[in-house]
Chain A
């Protein structure tokens, strides 16, 4: 290759030093990144390899479509609820089942809780260590940290004594030599810019966020009946509900509904008084680190989520709107139709799957998941010990999804850009305020930090929306409507012989779709396109690169041995390839041969 320009406008040069990051740590699942650096240590080529096979589609064929949600819950350790939701939606769509208002509100509440929880966990536990130097926090002055905290937020845990206690706890942990979760970082790297006090503040909130998780998981337990794998049902929600002060066992009543209300208020307080002030404080020290934009200034897409009205998935109803932006034209947002075979297609020319003709893409209704593991001729190493992968050949277990042929970025930043361009005030106003507080132009959003900021704003948005949705649920219940499921068409004898449906929406990580084809009451075909497949996508036959690959280009690395900058940008997407499930061999190597039945 040496030097080429891709059809989507990125210059690639693979002549310089090759650096491999495998695995990318602090993510769900297994991902490998290879880059080429020029003589100034700037990334000039990037290759994203999903190194785990995913074949959920294959094992669902022939099963009862009403059971599919339970299987899809098991494909990912993080996104259980979001897969289950799209799965029941797909089947409801195929069978033309209308869900009741209560079920819609409860599903919205569960997804909004998932957003807040995922975003908090991502920011503090998976991403913060890319910006926050925990070891530096040990040298912070607790009194100055207290002053910093009180300057940025009314959060009550702010005394010098509190920060001193946390610092001592941290010291004991670090001195014990068991860094544990903090082991895979690059402490002391010159790429860390925060003063010790900001590091102590953020590390303290890392611990508080661990505590907060205890609360928010209760929402899923209450409405889903179980945690960590809530129950779902085609036709609505499987919980019985009433507004009695006391009630029979197993019914969601006022005692539980009041608990939900309390948790919602706590979530609003945590996102507004801890998460957002921390985000702003950290970002203010990294304003000159404007890398990582990649596709975000060009092509972004959202399917939309949170229908205000049951069974209405148009922008009139969606609290988070759908749309696609091409070439950065915010004045012209295109509508996305997930059913249109000309819009969404998956390619496998560079993926470890095979099609009859690999120059064409397949819409998920016609999707094929047939593994074919082979490596390009320029591979360095062997099949079981890959030193440098050959991106000229097949190089990922992820397919390459495209919208009208374009590689698209999905996720919180994509949603916020679509919402901003659609003129939604609840999205636009907080974005404008954050930018003006930080003294940054809107183009600053097209970056790694823009992605991280959009996620923080969205966590707060989700927390406040929970309050609204809760109020609507209560109003509907108090008006006497206690229905949570529509079971009219649950019996397969009522189904047509050959139907197709799609469940689509927005997982915390981005656009998620499940496509189902039901024939003679059994699943004939099932395809999922998950957010990380869009973002971590390999090249397509035309040579367009995906969002991860694009975002890494142009980034200077302080030290090629310490890929902190790569982690920052990849983590900003909140990668989750656990749904790209595959086990490793006993020694941690990926298996190259898989049995599929």
Chain B
């Protein structure tokens, strides 16, 4: 979000009750799935004021204040389910913490499991939680982007996410106009197009 679109509510974690959170590291290929999904979601849809769409990165414990404030939490992430690459899976409520830590794809999930445990201890675990995860195809490609197979799961993941929001009676609307670049969730430098095209040593290789 750019400064231009920010309202005072953004400075106040108390001003929303539904958090749509992408987590992961865009620098590690398919680990960026959660972030790229919420970026796309934000580009295409608008939500009422009680909904926050957030790029959580790998912030771990520092996401706690945001998670504690949410009554409903929708997470997008890359998760090792032990399934075929690029398989999508939806996990609900009590199952969410277990899947966030059972088989760790990366460090950020250890951190996020602690966030949920701390929220629980503080008596502020979200009442409803859904994790929409994708089975990564490739992780150990530092500086790489999503593999094709995983990238094609962004749209289906968003469809499932919107269906969850419907269940929660959270409304959403298609954006009329395309979103100006400076209002994208991430900084321009990390937009997926630039990120892929300006990779120094791809040598024109398709990602």
Contacts and interface: CB of A to CB of B under 8 A. Distances in A.
A591 B104 CA distance: 13
Interface string A207-248: 100110110011001100111110100000011100000000
B88 interface: no
Given A28-B107, A594-B140, A249 B59 contact: no
Nearest to B27: A74
Contacts of A228: 54-57, 59, 62-63, 66
Interface in A246-295: 249-251, 255-256, 259
B27 A581 contact: yes
A78 interface: yes
Interface stretch (A57-65, A497-505, A531-539): A57-65
A221 B61 CA distance: 17
Contact of A250 (B4, B64, B106): B4
Interface stretch (B42-50, B115-123, B126-134, B155-163): B115-123
Interface stretch (A188-196, A308-316, A433-441, A582-590): A582-590
Contact of B3 (A59, A67, A173, A240): A240
A422 B31 CA distance: 46
A121 B114 CA distance: 13
A217 B65 contact: yes
B199 A597 contact: yes
A77 B60 contact: yes
Nearest to B117: A180
Nearest to B65: A214
Contact of B57 (A62, A80, A594): A80
Nearest to A217: B65
Contacts of A229: 55, 57, 186-187
A221 B11 CA distance: 5
Interface residues of B, number: 64
Nearest to B63: A228
Contacts of B62: 77-78, 121, 213, 217, 228
A169 B123 contact: yes
Nearest to A61: B200
Contacts of B31: 583
B189 A67 contact: yes
A525 to B, nearest CB: 12
A201 interface: no
15 contacts: A67-B189, A67-B190, A77-B58, A77-B107, A169-B123, A181-B118, A214-B69, A227-B10, A249-B4, A249-B6, A255-B8, A581-B107, A582-B140, A584-B104, A597-B199
Interface of B: 1-8, 10-13, 25-28, 31, 54-66, 68-69, 80, 82, 103-108, 111, 114, 117-118, 120-123, 139-144, 186-190, 198-202
Interface of A: 28-30, 52-53, 55-56, 58-59, 61-64, 66-67, 70-71, 73-78, 80, 121, 125, 169, 173, 178, 180-181, 207, 210-211, 213-214, 217-218, 221-222, 225-229, 231, 238-240, 249-251, 255-256, 259, 578, 581-584, 586-588, 591, 593-597
